[in-house]
Amino acid sequence: MEENEELNEEQQDNTAPEGASGEETTEALTRVTGMYKDWFLDYASYVILERAVPAIEDGFKPVQRRIMHSLKELDDGRYNKVANVVGHTMQYHPHGDASIADAMVQIGQKDLLIDTQGNWGNILTGDRAAASRYIEARLSKFALEVVFSPKITEWQQSYDGRKKEPVNLPVKFPLLLAQGAEGIAVGLSTKILPHNFIELIDASIKHLKGQRFTIVPDFPTSGIIDVTNYNDGLRGGKIRVRAKISQQSKNTLVINEIPYGTNTSSLIDSILKANDKGKIKIKKIEDNTAADVEILVHLPSGISPDKTIDALYAFTACESSISPLGCIIEDNKPLFIGVTEMLKRSTEATVELLKQELELQLAELEEQWHFASLERIFIENRIYRDIEEEETWEGVIKAIDKGLKPHTKHLRRAVTEADIVRLTEIRIKRISKFDLDKAQQQLDTLEERIAEVKHHLEHLIDFAIDYFKKLKSTYGKGRERKSEIRVFDDIIATKVVIRNTKLYVNREEGFVGTSLRRDEYITDCSDIDDIIVFTKDGKMQITKVDSKTFIGKNIIHVAVFKKKDKRTTYNLIYKDGKGGATYIKRFNVTAVTRDKPYDLTAGSPNSQVLYFTANPNGEAEVVTVNLRQAGSIKKLKWDIDFADVLIKGRGSKGNIVTKYTVKRIELKEKGVSTLKPRKIWFDDVVRRLNVDGRGELIGEFRGDDLLLVVTQKGIVKTILPVLTSRFDDDMIVLEKWIPEKPLSAIYWEGEKERYYLKRFQVENEHKEELFISDHPKSYLELISTDWRPVIEIEFPKPRGKEPKESLTVEVESFISVKGIKALGNQLITEKVKNINALEPLPYEEVKEAKPVDMEVVGEEDVSTSVDDKTDAKKNTDTSTDENDGDEGQITLF
């Protein structure tokens, strides 16, 4: 009141300036400082504690806790209309029915606490649940066992004081981590990701045993996850989630699992948007999702499926990042902790709850034992006869108490008046039918149960471990991990984006861009690419693709720029200034500042480029230098081999060619690569090729070398060693392909039901071929890529006899090399136990002649496109990447 009066006085002072007439209307100035401090803080606290953030004790937000309490009150084993449950919950939750119904649907969709009936929506497709009057629910058996225990529950008054509701439910399971939680409060938020049911139980058991544990999320939508940066669910962590995409056919991709946080509708929309923007190129999409996800992505002919998969991850919702934030309520305060600490606290709370239940159970058993003993004494010693002469109630109590005293020494507590009153309530019928043996048997059973409960209390940790094991065996079936854990490779967007526009150049005027359609076409590119431009005056510049950009007059070379490309080598001969000497140099361009001009000459004014080539594989040609006749020059013509020039930085001056005037420079002989063959490794963790030394070394590859791939399905193919290639999980052979080297295969022929052995060579490059029969029961038993393989056949042991001695077969003697479609020779007619590959026979391979190489440190991928493989083989002087356009061209001046 005093504050209000002071405020009113201030308002009067502020709103009544000198000279103001009483009849004038003035605006009142209201100060909100006090309101902000009190009201806003109250509101923020309310939203944090009562709406958005779950409690660590039971893992529930208030609305969820009240829904579970209402379901328990209504529980009679039958289904209840959700609308009825919502109305019942409104006795405890002071908010609208819509928010309660939505919260209940979310709990039901997690398929853990609520047994649902009807259309509860679909987390895969994003379909909403039916109206609450049409769907039904009841508590699951798991919820009834784990969530409720009224005798150890702390209660409080509901918001209107008419009902009692639990402060926290006695949940004996890490429910918060199993279900996950997400909420936005005032000034803070929480995002706890769901974890696997079985893994949480195993982690709880490990914690009780004093062992270390690690838990990572598991999502109901399945998918593939990378938890490298999970950071225990704390602020700053990140999880990458991907859809599971596989190649169904040459022009069809299939998505069988989707990332958490998306649905099929939003995923398809993101793919269509990426297609409209030109980032990817697709023909059509089919959504065949029912119980399981199935989205078919049809590709136009000529589009690489591997590259499209990477593009889907780079430009659509097929890959997304989730940032967890572990915030919970403890003692009415928000607390930021990791999932490991959450599990520890939940497990320890479970142990405490189990202890309370055991202590309560022990007290009840001891009470039962106490009264059963009193009842036996009362009836066996016929103490009830002592009350026949008593006329008052006090006399009855004293008579019974006096009659019991000689027989109560073995009791575990004193006899109270309440015990005596209870004895007086025993009916005559029970006394007349009292069986001493049955009474003793009941006491023995109670003593056994008391001893058992005391044992559990003394060995509480072991009891808790058994409790968790029981939960796992009872409810763990069908709750195996859904999300596959992998380490993701980083996808470079510029390498997988579809070339959705064309690049043009006006060489004379010095413009490059995508809108110069009347000028010279250079290459296809994308709107996120960089381009590298060289001009006749020896300048170089890298800039972003745009509609029209001025670089400088007399452009001599334009191409899409590949960052960190240490294989593309530029060969340059230039004249230093108007009357200066001529220099030759070779250089790479790996990284520069965008839109900054770089001078490739010595820096003298009027310098001019006389000869220039861009070589994607470090080719070094031979050129002829022709001098202009002047004075007493004796040698006017000679050859220069670029292979004799070292590759240096772009800023190097170069080697002097001549100090005289050059008339012209002619190409004499096309060059070959001066770079060493590229070493390629296969990283089995991400199942990708790389040039960084991760994983197993596959081999050294030149421009036309191919990879040999064999799968367990009996499919063989050869592919270019493109770093964006994807490999099936059933791949069993991945090595450098030697065309002359035969493959030896043993397979079970389904129709003839016999093992066959065949030797063959890959006949068609870049084509998948089935080398076993197409019978549904046929399968590949063994494949060998050795030159002269040897196999061993083991036979099963007959009953009562010694096993037959193993048979050794030299494959090259058994069968000659035949066509890939040949059936092969029948290997054996007898039953076989095992077929093993032995040490092959010696073979001396013809070693390739090693050229004189010029090494470039840190060689990297040229990103050769599979779609360009045919052109790459026909013309080794052009680029092997669709980005390169006219790289490899020769420019003469």
In angstroms, rounded to a whole number, what is the distance separating the alpha carbons of residues 557 and 615?
Answer: 12
Q: Return contacts of 404-409, CB within 8 angstroms, 24+ apart.
A: 404/374, 404/377, 404/378, 407/377, 407/381, 408/374, 408/377
Residue whose tokens read 């398809």: 268
CB 600 within 8 A of CB 539: yes
Residue among 14, 267, 244 at smallest CA distance from 124? 267
Provide the greatest CA pair distance for the chain. 158
Tell me which residue has tokens 């045993």: 209
Phi/psi of residue 298, nearest 5 degrees = -90, 130
d(Cα 157, Cα 446) in Å, to the nearest integer? 37
Task: Supply φ then ψ for residue 668, to 5 degrees.
Answer: -100, -40
Q: Cα Rg for the chain, rounded, in angstroms?
A: 41
Contact (Cβ atoms closer than 8 angstroms) between residue 586 and residue 675? no
Helices (H) and strands (E) in the chain, counts: 20, 49
Token digits of residue 122 = 């679909």
In the block, which residue shows the tokens 């029970």? 430
* DSSP sequence for 683-744: ETTTTEEESSS-SEEEEEE-TT--EEEEETTSEEEEE---TT----TTEEEEEE--TT--EE
- CA–CA separation, 603 vs 742, rounded Å? 58
- For residues 381 and 295, what is the distance between their CA atoms, to the nearest angstrom? 82
Q: Of 119, 98, 99, nearest to 109 (Cα)?
A: 119
Cβ contact 523:722 at 8 Å: no
**Chain centroid to CA 176:** 21
Contact 214, 233 (CB under 8 A): no
Judge contact between 264 and 222, C-beta under 8 A: no
What angle in degrees, to the nearest 10, is found between the helix axes of 197-208 and 460-475?
170
Cα separation, 250 vs 309, whole angstroms: 13
Give every CB contact of residue 319 below 8 A, 6+ residues apart in sequence: 240, 241, 242, 243, 259, 312, 313, 488
N residues, the chain: 893
Catalytic annotation present for 313: no
Do residues 287 and 264 lie in contact, with contact meaning Cβ atoms separated by under 8 Å? Answer: yes
The span from the CA of 361 to the CA of 744, in Å, is: 70
Strand order in the sheet with 319-322: 319-322, 239-242, 224-226, 484-485
Q: Which of 36, 43, 134, 843 is catalytic?
A: 134
Please check whether residue 516 is in contact with residue 505, taking contact to mean a CB–CB distance below 8 angstroms.
Answer: yes
Establish how many alpha carbons lie within 13 A of residue 282's alpha carbon, considering only the half-sphere containing its beta carbon. Answer: 27
CA dihedral for 576, 578, 580, 581, sign (positive or negative) = positive
Q: Given its phi and psi angles, is residue 869 left (phi above 0), alpha (psi -120 to 50 degrees) or beta? A: alpha
Residue 155 to residue 63: CA distance in whole angstroms:
16
Cα–Cα distance between 114 and 149 in angstroms, integer?
Answer: 17
In the numeric block, which tokens belong to residue 645? 């020039």
Q: Tally the C-alpha atoms within 13 A of residue 751's C-alpha that lie toward its C-beta.
A: 5
So which residues are the catalytic ones? Answer: 134
